[in-house]
Amino acid sequence: MPGLVPGGHAVADISWTWRAIYRMITKLKHAHLWHITLALAVLLIAVSSIVYLQQKASYESIRRENVSNIAAQFAMLMDNPAVAADHDSLRTISDTLIRKWRIERIEIRSSDGDAVFSRGRIEGKPEILSIPLPIPLSDAPGSLAPGGTLDVAYDDSEFSTHLARLAGLLFLGNGFLLLIFHGLARLLQRRQHKAESLLELQEERLRLALEASSDGIWEHNILEGAHFLSDRMYTMLGFEPGNPEDGWRFLYERVHLEDREKVSRARNLMEEGLRDTLVSRFRMQRRDGEWRHILCRAKVVAVDMEGNPARIAGTFTDVTPLVDAEEALATLNRELEERVEQRTTDLARKAEELVEANRQLRELDQLKSSFLSSVSHELRTPLTSILGFARLISKEFAAHFRGKAASEREERAGRRIEDNLRIIATQGERLSRLVNDVLDLNKIESGMMEWRDETIAPEDVVRRAVEATRPLLEENPNVEFIADVRPDIPRITIDPDRLEQVLINLLHNAVKFTRQGHVRLVAERGKSGDLRICVEDTGVGIPGHALEAVFDKFHQQPADALHGKPKGTGLGLFISREIVRHYGGALRVDSGEGRGSVFEVLLPGAGKVAVDT
């Protein structure tokens, strides 16, 4: 069966020896370390003994082969009767063989065992290897030992020394290996102990996490065809932990029929290696028949040497409450969409109604504007006649009847007639201003205001506005009027009548709301070269919350602030600000209740578009 490669990575090849040692350490991890070391020492001694014996047998074989070669060569020489008879030649040849092959001694013995020829000497106790060397008895004279033997004494001192060194090296090597093994084993044991402690801690954390999350764990070993299901997997489906029904069939039979194809397809994708991870949701039936929504997360955790999936692990999570909440939310969303659609329809209908109402309002506004324009024009003609006749009657009465009364009674009647004529003139002028204000408002709102602009020196306009206000000032001797027109004021481009209208309105308001003190008009050049006109009074003032409201249409001051004087239309300041803004200027107010008011007019000098604010 192919080996498993955790995480899909190939395991590096290591030598068989170290792999065996590692396996032995891991398998005998509960045994005492010294016992393992002793067993390894015995194993190394046995291996060393085998190596020593094999080396000794090898040297023995080499020695025998060398001796056989010497005997064969010497026997060939003995076949030559001339050489055999010549002892000097035999000695020379023997010396050469002794030096070349590390031979200690060569002897030729007769068939009776007597030494016929001997060269070299035996030192120590060399091992004698006797090899029969038959020499044929030929007709050649001088045969030394017909039917005798050749004995060779081999020098084994180098062989013994080599074996002794080998034994020493094996002893030292075994000791060194034992020390390395012991140290490595202790290191591996400490690391293994640390890894086991860490693994136990991680397993404990995983167990606590799984208990807290209520997730079930499963594992499928593809190579062995085995399945593992945690206890939570069983209790999630209403079964006792360790239920004998186990494996794929236990789970698959509880999957909803409509979801089984999806589950089978997901399993095939994982087992065929087409997916490393997979998340799927399906329905499963509990033991009591209730259907639950299960979220399955799967991952390939190990592959074989060929890279094919070998183990798949995952979790089961009961997400029925979440699915129920999603369905409830979806229902609410549908209801909300229906309501929104209904509201949208209602708003569209209301919008259409508003469009129609707006159209009607525009028509009514046009009718109102036309009506006001028509009525105002119709009122101006009789008003002009009334004011003209009132002034004419007042002049004729003063010329023909004042001071000519015959009695006190006639004198009082004359004064009443003059007072009535004065009231007619005052109210006529008030009504004329009201009509003019309404006409101006209508023209401003409709964009039909007529502007007769010209570049002027504003001193004359200021002077005319002051003269037009003097009759009102003469009625209240407790109010002092101060006009301060500086000589360096700039020229401006404006409709003179509109500028006069603004100044008269500001002066009338100042005089009307001031019982005593003064009204001051200052005309000067501003810091940016603009025209600055200020109208200051010591009247009742304006509360802070109403400062901006004074410029609204039809705004009226409280009746107690007028001191019995007639109310205006509430359009003067609105029209004045619109006129000033038309020329790129600004109309401001600074006031407080009980401390008077200061109205400031800023108008751009000739050639400028707007004032610098």
353, containing H or E segment: helix 320-400
Grouped pLDDT means (10 residues each) for the chain, 613 residues:
35 42 50 65 76 77 72 64 65 74 70 72 45 41 60 67 75 76 74 77 70 77 83 84 67 90 90 89 92 91 87 89 90 91 90 88 74 65 74 76 73 78 73 70 70 89 88 84 90 89 89 90 90 92 84 68 56 86 90 89 81 62
Which residue, 49, 54, 66, 50, is CA-closest to 156? 66
Listing DSSP states for 31-88 in one string gives: S-HHHHHHHHHHHHHHHHHHHHHHHHHHHHHHHHHHHHHHHHHHHHHHT-HHHHH-HH
Cβ pair 547, 508 in contact under 8 A: no
Query: What token pair was written down for 422?
Result: 């004065």
Gyration radius from the chain CA atoms: 66
pLDDT of residue 82: 62
CA–CA dist 533, 524 (Å, integer): 7
pLDDT of residue 401: 72
104, containing H or E segment: strand 103-109
CA distances from 567 to 509, 513, 537 (A): 11, 11, 19
pLDDT of residue 131: 41
CA–CA dist 237, 229 (Å, integer): 12
Query: What token pair was written down for 252?
Result: 């698959």
pLDDT of residue 44: 73
Cβ pair 286, 233 in contact under 8 A: no
Query: What token pair was written down for 123?
Result: 């030192």
∠ CA 159-163-166, nearest 5°, is: 140
Residue 373: other Cβ atoms inside 10 A = 16
456, containing H or E segment: strand 454-456
CA–CA dist 359, 357 (Å, integer): 5
Which residues, 6+ apart, have CB-to-CB distance to 446 below 8 Å?
Answer: 369
CA–CA dist 521, 278 (Å, integer): 88
pLDDT of residue 98: 73
CA–CA dist 275, 10 (Å, integer): 20
pLDDT of residue 335: 92
Beta-strand pair 216-221/309-318: antiparallel
Helices first, then strands: H and E counts in the chain: 13, 17
Amino acid at 30: H
pLDDT of residue 535: 93
CA–CA dist 386, 432 (Å, integer): 11
3-state secondary structure 134-168: CCCCCCCCCCCCCCCEEEEEECCHHHHHHHHHHHH
Which residue, 466, 479, 441, is CA-closest to 573? 441
Which residues, 6+ apart, have CB-to-CB distance to 293 below 8 Å?
Answer: 281, 282, 283, 318, 319, 320, 322, 323
pLDDT of residue 475: 80
Is the CA virtual torsion 331, 337, 340, 345 positive or negative?
Answer: negative
pTM over 0.75: no
